[in-house]
Amino acid sequence: MNRFDRVSAILIMLQTKKWVTANEISQRFEVSVRTIYRDIRTLQEAGIPIGAEAGKGYFIVDGFHLPPVMFTPDEAASLLLAGKLIEKMSDKSIGQGFKSALEKICAILPDKEKGYIDNLDKGIEVFYNSSLISSKIASNILSEIQRALANKFVINIEYQSLHKNENLTNRSVEPIVLCFYSMHWHLIAYCRLRNEFRDFRVDRIKRVTPSNEICPKREIQNASQYFSRLGENEDLKEIILRVDKKTAAHLSTSKYYYGFISETEYEDYYEMHLISSDLDYTARWLLTFTDGIEIISPQELRDKFIDLIKTLNNRFL
């Protein structure tokens, strides 16, 4: 990227957030912080009212607006692809909102680019249907959760836990983070009914009722902090696997259905970290691999895996 394009992109980046630090900008464009200082100074000399505050970063002074930015065909195509995924992997409210935004973007494209996007639209399909797209589930679950997260509001939810024989429960929760793993959306929140942090699968939330109560600040503020405390959570278990590289290739897709979080590559194997609320389910999945996988932890999963092998041995041998 040349300097002119970078300086223009920095200006767009400054308009997307209230505060942007020099480190954020330098990481985004892979240049030194000193280079970013020079670029900011160039924008200021061009008359852009950019302010700065120690400890917070740069900001554009209130009241300053630029004309709408024209999208390139590749940028519009990227948004089209994202829209295809959002349509299939979210609820109706998010899908409709993104479709409306994309239509506004396409409306300002030149006729040639409109034809390009129209042709591309017909050539992309996503064969996946989120469990959130159901007539039995309110169509605005994700939207309500997003609004609560942005405003730091407490919400009341009707929740059905499938791993426990319990009826629909009404809970007051303090949303922490919305995350996607195991091919499902999950809401990490502090549950006032259980008085602890919980992981709620969003497709099991039947209704969300917003409130105007501000969430108090809790010791957990993001997903990483929550997952680092899994050992304290009775419902979720952290799983560590050692997988040889040949077997890892066969796990490249399926691992995401079983709580995959991260992996570290070593010379001849990967160490994979997953989370699971059902170790029996995970053990049965691992049983489909005859070799190439070693269960490092937890011991409970190793025991369940061995019990399954003994059951098969007694039945068939």
Q: What is the dihedral of CA 228, 229, 233, 236, to 10 degrees?
A: 0
Kindly give the parts of the chain with pLDDT less than 70. Answer: 65-70, 129-138, 162-166, 230-235
Distance of alpha carbon 31 from alpha carbon 11, whole angstroms:
16
Residue 181 forms beta bridges with which residues?
184
pLDDT of residue 241: 95
pLDDT of residue 103: 79
pLDDT of residue 100: 83
Half-sphere exposure of 222 (CA within 13 A, CB side): 1
CATH number for the region 3-60 comes to 1.10.10.10
How does 242-274 read in b/e, with b if 16+ C-beta sit within 10 Å?
Answer: ebeeebbeebeeebeebbbbebeeeeebbebbb
Break the chain into its structural domains and give their ranges: 3-60, 73-122, 141-229, 237-316
Query: Tokens for 87?
Result: 């349509």
Closest by Cα among 142, 188, 136 to 160:
136
pLDDT of residue 138: 66
Closest by Cα among 211, 217, 213, 174 to 193:
174
Separation of CA 255 from chain center? 16
Q: Which DSSP string corresponds to the chain?
A: --HHHHHHHHHHHHHHSS-B-HHHHHHHHT--HHHHHHHHHHHHHTT--EEEETTTEEEEPTT---PPPPPPHHHHHHHHHHHHHHHHHS-HHHHHHHHHHHHHHHHTS-HHHHHHHHHHHHT-------TTS-TTS-TTHHHHHHHHHHHTEEEEEEE--TTTT---EEEEEEEEEEEEETTEEEEEEEETTTTEEEEEEGGGEEEEEEEEEEPPP-S--SHHHHHTTGGG-SS-EEEEEEEEHHHHHHTTTGGGGGTEEEEEE-SSEEEEEEEES-HHHHHHHHTT--SSEEEEE-HHHHHHHHHHHHHHHHHH-
Architecture, CATH, for domain 141-229: Roll (2.30)
CATH number, domain 237-316, options 2.40.70, 3.40.50, 3.30.70, 2.60.120: 3.30.70
